[in-house]
Amino acid sequence: MTSASSTNIATLIAADRLETGVVSEAEDRLRGAGAEPAGHHWLETGKAIDIAFAGDIAAVRAALRPLENQADLVVQPSANRRKMLLVSDMDSTIITIECIDELADYAGIKAEIAEITERAMQGELDFEGALRARVALLKGLHRDTIRQCIDERVRLTPGADILLKTMRGWGAHGLLVSGGFTDFVAAVVEMAGFDSMAANRLGISGDYLDGTVNGDVVDAREKALQLQRARQRLGISADLVLAAGDGANDILMVEAAIAGGGIGAAYHAKPALAEKANFAIRHNDLTALLFAQGVVRSDWAAAA
């Protein structure tokens, strides 16, 4: 069991099954980094484990990095692990698709738009410019296509509803921030169980998309600002924030969470974001964020 005198926790979440030899190797690596292991505790037997230690977090994270081909890894203080504010990106994080790419499919131009989306998420293109360019190509698409796309293609990422239901069960607030569009985001807020949202508004003239984005764009800077505003509005301390995303436009939001002492998670992310995060989820679904908060499997809320 975890020692009450320990100050930090390393959590390993297996890609498949976490063998005892891996746990022993992790503890040896801790010692090699000058950190003394103080016992371990299974969050789910064979799947996820907490290893308590006294030592430097950055040194331990570096020492354990070779194990990332077998497990997702987060190293953090043992205090305040359960977060009170979850701020998440939507496309390819809370849901499995990029909505603008799927909407473009109905217009017969998915390949063209998906290429721009990929480059923007890699950080190769200015996000706002890339968004406006893609939306311009959708001009003339009937507004009913949005609802059709939601009904036919928008699906939650595995673990999303369990994550939200479990965190809201202890009183946490969920904020969905997206560079996508309000129609899609409002639907996902309801599907997943978020409390609030911020997103872009598609320009519509009559019954057709007019190829514009109304108002200011929700970009990387705005996502980070939304995190700070929500935290301040709700009176939540900075170390009780969890931010999650997958692309370059989530970097500032993730960095804001980390700077405050919280968790900045990269979910099956582009390299530009993964290298900035303090928790890169490569093997597991979104329930890894519950293990990261020290929640044992038996305490998860049931899926809808």
Please report how many Cα atoms fall inside a 13 Å half-sphere around the Cα of residue 259, on the Cβ side: 9
For the chain, the C-alpha Rg in angstroms (whole number) is 20
Asked whether 37 and 31 are in contact (CB, 8 A), the reply is yes
Cα 83 to chain centroid, rounded: 13
Give the Cβ contact number of residue 142 at 10 Å: 14
User: Per the structure block, which two tokens stand in for 236?
Assistant: 């939540």
Integer Cα distance of 279 and 137 in angstroms: 36
Asked whether 279 and 141 are in contact (CB, 8 A), the reply is no
Per this entry, what is the length of the chain? 304
H/E stretch holding 264 reads strand 263-267
Within 8 A by CB and 6+ apart from 30, the residues are 10, 36, 37, 51, 53, 55, 60, 63, 64
List active site positions: 89, 91
Asked whether 89 and 252 are in contact (CB, 8 A), the reply is no
- Cα end-to-end span (Å), the chain: 32
User: What phi and psi values does residue 289 have, to the nearest 5 degrees?
Assistant: -70, -20
Residue type, 168: R
